[in-house]
Amino acid sequence: MVVALGGNALLRRGERPDAAARARALADAARAVAAVARAHEVVVTHGNGPQVGLLALQAEAAGQATPLDVLDAESEGLIGYPLERELRAALPGREVAALLTQVLVDAADPAFAAPTKPIGPLYGEAEARRVAAARGWAVAADGPGWRRVVPSPEPRALVEAHAIRLLVDAGVLLVCAGGGGIPVVDRDGALAGVEAVVDKDLAAELLARTVDADALLLLTDVAAVERDFGTPAAEPIREATVAGLRAAAWAPGSMGPKVEAACRFVEATGGLAAIGALEDAPAVLAGERGTRVRA
C-alpha cells in the first residue's frame, strides 16, 4: 500500500517550525508507518506545504531567488533523509531508501493561472494581505488562518516510475514523490522545472497506481472526513462511497484533494482508500478510526 503523510501532520498547525519540532514529528510519523509496515508492503510519500513555504522565506531572507521546483527538491531531502533514518531505526533489518522524484505536469495546465495550493506558515488575515501585497503573493484562507497559495497542476506521470517499481519489487521500503514530487514539463524532449507545488494527495494516488497498490492510506492532522466541517453540526464519516463523497463539496486546499485522491484510486482500481489521523494509522486501516472509501 501507499501511505501518504500530510505536511501538516509532519509539522502541526501553529507549531514552531524548528529542527526539534520537525525531528519529533518525523519520529512520530515513522512509528505510525512502521506499525503498518510490519504487516504490509509499504511505499511512503509525504507532503511539504509548511516546509517548502518556510524554505522559500529563508531563501528570500538570504537574498536568493530560488525557484519553487528547486525548493520542492530541497524539501524532499529535508523530510526524506530523517524519515528514512527513523524508519530504519523503527524497522531493524529492513532496507529503506528515499528517492528524489520528478513529476511530469502539463505546461498548459489552467492551475498555473489560478493558485490554490497553500504553503508556508499561517498568518492572520490582515497580516497575510499585507505580506502578499509586499511580496506579490496570492493568499487564501486555510483553516484558522491565511497562507500563501501557489499553482498546483495535475500530476501526469512519475519520471522515475521504472526505478520506483524496481526498488519496490526488490523489497525496499521506499520514500518517494515527497511533497507531490518536483514538477517538471517536457520541452521538446528535455525536462524543465516549473514554479508550482504538485498536490501530495493526487501524486500519492498516481504513485499508488504506478506500484499496483491494493490500498491508499492518506494520513493527516484530522481524525476523519466530516460532514459540515467547521460547524456545530460536524459529524465524522466512517464509511463512504465514491458517489457519496463526490456529491458533497470539500475545501479545495485541504480535504478536497484527499477526497479526490481517494475517489480516483477506488474508481481506477477497486481497492481501498482511507483518510485519517497520523497517530491512528493502524486503526484507520482496520476501519476502527478515520474514513474508509470503497466503490
Return d(Cα 202, Cα 251) in angstroms, integer. 15
Residue 117 falls in the annotated catalytic set: yes
HEC sequence for 101-141 = CEEECCCCCHHHHCCCEEEEEEECHHHHHHHHHHHCCEEEE
List C-alpha distances in Å: 275 to 18, 137, 183, 197.
Answer: 27, 31, 25, 21
Give CA–CA dist 212/268, Å, rounded.
11
Q: Is 258 a catalytic residue?
A: yes
Cα separation, 217 vs 80, whole angstroms: 18
Cβ neighbours, 10 Å, residue 23 = 12
The dihedrals phi and psi of 197, each to the nearest 5 degrees, come to -130, 115
Q: Give me the catalytic one of 7, 49, 181, 253.
A: 7
CB atoms under 10 Å from CB of 183, counted, come to 26
14 is catalytic: no
Cα–Cα dist 78/232, whole Å:
38
Q: Active-site residue among 6, 8, 47, 120?
A: 8
Q: Which of 53, 181, 200, 276 is an active site residue?
A: 200
Of residues 48, 80, 179, 258, which has the active-site annotation?
Answer: 258
**Nearest Cα to 224, choosing from 278, 275, 263?**
275
- Of these residues, 117, 120, 181, 271, which one is catalytic? 117
- Which residues belong to the active site? 7-8, 117, 200, 258
